[in-house]
Amino acid sequence: MKRKLGEKAIVIGGGLTGLVTARVLSDYFQTVTVIERDPVTETGRFTPRTGVPQATQTHLLRTNGAAILMGLFPDIATALKKNGAYEVDLLNEMNNYTLGWKPKLKSGKRTFLQSRPLLDETIRSLMPQYPNIEILYDSEVIDLLINFRENRMTGIRYVTNSPRKETNLYGDLIVDASGSKTHFPDWLERLNLERPPKEEVPVNVSYFTRFFRWPEGYEPDWKYMAVINSERRRIGMILAVENDSLGKRWSVSIMGQFEGAKIETDAQFLAGALELGPPEFHDVIAQTTALTPIESYMFPAIRRYKYEDLQKLPSHFLAIGDALCAWTPLSGVGMTASLSTIDILNQSFAKSNLNEAVSHYFRGAKKWSDNCWKIYSQKEYYEHSLGKLPFGMRFLRWYKNSILKLCNQDPKLWSKMYTVVNAENSPRILYNPLLMLRVFWQALLER
């Protein structure tokens, strides 16, 4: 039993981030209340919730995110596999084409492949194991409660819809896990408090996804295929998601900056797959049977709020997940980014009293997000949106692409590169003198 830091914590948002955050806080507070806008009837194994508009798109749970989940929920691996999810060594069961096909190698690091609704519902099914967590469905937060004299957040005001009723709820800690459409900055401003600074990169990325049935008898040596064409600003993903009673299913996404073009028909989807470059991606889809219509999703901008820069941030409050940093799904890091900041939260609360823990969390989350921002703001991919690239960006793009080409014949280098892509390591590890010398020497040989 970990030491308690307060009587009640309140988590706004009952999606993946909110539920896992509540699980962590259940170790440090007597009770944890989750306020979830969607009704409980919307939850289901294959049913995307209204509150997760991108749930129909392909989601990749990276290995470090899977490790965090397994540490917090000892039964999650069994539950996921029971419902048809695949447990994989991603580096050994991935076909990745980025300036050439990358080598396979055994990493010993495991993750799970499944649809987003299945992952969300599996986590939700495990919540009754933690009796000090309550989830109030069909409820929406409408305002904050603050002690202005002490500059301390004391609770929230929420409304239930059936029956409609407004209620004040008080707590020792308020957590914003409400996602990318968070209202917290607006609520702070409405209370005559300072809005957090916002950093944003316009990307205008569109996603087109549908589910397919595997061909009968087809057993490839991969469970995940990614094709990245940075020149055309396109990415394709095929993910083995579930093996259910009707057979095996794939989630297939084509994403990028399409300049107004839409993918709405079977022919357009196949054409989009062919335009990615290597024919393997198209050929896999061409022999499968579509199970669902094409679902589209538009992501306008990468965005993060810098609460740590506020001079008078109310105490007893923190933001987490997409409410803090919203990443484009092109990066494939969204869920893992949320889980990584939740892990920072867990470490912070294990060492300090409440006020110190919150401060430690914001510092740790900033450091992690700064690292991720360097990798996944990906300005080179969004040149069309930004216009002229910032100074030095062309060199960094050339250097990164040179390393990616070297990776084609070097499994160890690819393993190191993938830890950066996987947000496990800082990009700084790619700038050691020996690797830089190798890159420049290879460039001379190719002249």
Of 74-83, 164-173, 360-369, 392-401, the range with the lowest mean pLDDT is 392-401
Average pLDDT, the chain: 88
pLDDT surpasses 60 at 323: yes
Query: Is the domain defined by 6-53+64-83+116-199+303-376 classed in CATH 3.30.497.10?
Result: no
What's residue 45's pLDDT?
Answer: 58
Q: Which residue has the tokens 């259940």?
A: 26
Nearest to 159 by CA among 139, 134, 130, 173: 139
Q: What is the pLDDT of residues 2-31, one digit of tens each?
A: 678 899 999 999 999 999 999 999 999 999
What's residue 434's pLDDT?
Answer: 93
User: What's the rounded Cα separation, in Å, for the pair 95 and 93?
Assistant: 7
User: In the beta sheet, which residues pair with residue 11?
Assistant: 34, 175
Which has more pLDDT, 410 or 375? 410
What's residue 372's pLDDT?
Answer: 74
Q: What is the mean pLDDT of residues 292-298?
A: 90
Is 203:39 a contact under the CB 8 Å cutoff?
no
pLDDT band at 136 (very low <50, low <70, confident <90, very high): very high
Please name the residue ranges forming H helices in 103-221. 116-126, 184-190
User: What's the rounded Cα separation, in Å, for the pair 446 and 437?
Assistant: 14
Name the 3-class secondary structure at 212. Answer: strand
Q: What is the pLDDT of residues 158-194, one digit of tens each?
A: 999 878 899 999 999 999 999 988 999 999 999 999 9
Cis peptide before 329 (omega within 30 of 0): no
Residue ranges per structural domain of the chain: 6-53+64-83+116-199+303-376, 388-446
Q: Which residue has the tokens 């396109």?
A: 234
Cis peptide before 278 (omega within 30 of 0): no
What's residue 380's pLDDT?
Answer: 45
pLDDT band at 217 (very low <50, low <70, confident <90, very high): confident
What's residue 330's pLDDT?
Answer: 66
What's residue 131's pLDDT?
Answer: 96
